[in-house]
């Protein structure tokens, strides 16, 4: 298993070896697994709160009416959709896909969860974007803040995954902290922990994949 100092080195090399672009490149963590049978239904769909905030926070849509909807708007949710609008969107497949693809996370008033499941569940489910239920008296401001500093890590029908840990303007230390949080979360979901991890690699958006120099690694 690759150790922490090697992960830190991957991040440093990925930043150093990429060419300067006209846009801010993301850094991606790539994980390859072994001894897992994804054909038997093993999957990971985790929300990981990153210890170091991204320069571009995750986008969050809140499905709520009344007081909770108003509080979500005041807390700067990226979009607030009420029950009536959800029902309207749910009758149009194109609009449904547009809504779901447009946001990283969804939160929903617990009282609307059943309606959301009926109208948008067929689109949200396969994308791993079913809403997190929020009670009407929940502290929506802190919940939004948590999701805006989180990423979704998903493994399905594959032995590898890739996820963003930050961008090239962030310090190596902050990028490492985010990578470590993701790796730690995934390890806990694997049947044999870190023994199921075959490789860990890092790359920038347009850069080459940086692989660890580990004896015996393929």
In this structure, the answer to whether residues 86 and 97 fall within a common structural domain is: yes
Phi-psi region of 216 (alpha: psi -120 to 50; beta: other; left: phi over 0): left
Q: Give the per-residue pLDDT at 108.
A: 97
Same domain, 15 and 122: no
CA distances from 114 to 68, 111, 130 (A): 17, 7, 11
CATH number of the domain within which 173 lies: 3.30.190.20
Q: Please give the chain's pLDDT, 218 residues, in tens.
A: 678 899 999 999 999 988 888 888 999 999 999 999 888 888 899 999 999 999 899 999 999 999 999 999 999 999 999 999 999 999 999 999 999 999 999 999 999 999 999 999 999 998 889 999 999 889 999 999 999 999 999 998 889 999 999 999 999 999 999 999 999 999 999 999 999 999 999 999 988 999 986 544 44
Judging by beta carbons within 10 Å of its beta carbon (0-12, 13-18, 19+), is residue 185 exposed, middle or buried? middle
pLDDT at 1: 64
Counted domains in the chain: 2
**Residue 117 CB burial class (10 angstroms; 0-12, 13-18, ≥19):** middle
- In a shared domain, residues 143 and 168: no
Report the distance separating Cα 153 and Cα 201, nearest Å.
15
Same structural domain, 81 and 128: yes
pLDDT for residue 141: 95
**Domain at 119, CATH number:** 3.40.50.790
Which residue range forms the structural domain that includes residue 183?
Answer: 4-55+150-204
Beta-bridge mates of residue 49:
150
Q: Supply the pLDDT for residue 201.
A: 96
Query: 136 and 118: one domain?
Result: yes
Both 155 and 125 in one domain: the answer is no
H or E element: which one contains 151? Answer: strand 150-156
Contact assessment for residue 46 and residue 186, using Cβ atoms and an 8 Å cutoff: yes
Regarding whether 197 and 158 lie in a shared domain, the answer is yes
Residue 65: inside a domain: yes
Same domain, 50 and 104: no
Q: Do residue 121 and residue 79 come from a single domain?
A: yes
């Amino acid at each position: 298993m690759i150790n922490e100092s090697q992960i830190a080195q991957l991040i440093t090399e990925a930043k150093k070896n990429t060419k300067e672009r006209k846009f801010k490149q993301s850094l991606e963590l790539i994980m390859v697994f072994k001894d897992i049978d994804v054909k038997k239904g093993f999957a990971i769909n985790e929300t990981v709160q990153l210890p170091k905030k991204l320069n571009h926070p995750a986008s969050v849509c809140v499905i709520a009416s009344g007081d909770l909807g108003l509080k979500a708007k005041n807390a700067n949710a990226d979009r607030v959709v009420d029950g009536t609008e959800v029902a309207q969107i749910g009758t149009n497949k194109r609009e449904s896909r547009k809504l779901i693809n447009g946001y990283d996370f969804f939160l929903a008033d617990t009282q609307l969860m059943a309606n959301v499941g009926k109208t948008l569940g067929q689109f949200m489910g396969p994308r791993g974007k079913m809403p997190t239920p929020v009670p009407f008296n929940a502290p929506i401001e802190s919940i939004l803040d948590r999701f805006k500093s989180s990423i979704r890590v998903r493994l399905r029908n594959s032995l590898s995954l890739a996820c963003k840990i930050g961008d090239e303007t962030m310090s190596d230390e902050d990028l490492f902290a985010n990578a470590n949080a993701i790796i730690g979360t995934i390890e806990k979901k694997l049947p044999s922990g870190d023994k199921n991890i075959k490789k860990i690699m890092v790359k920038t958006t347009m850069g080459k994949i940086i692989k660890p120099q580990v004896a015996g690694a393929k």
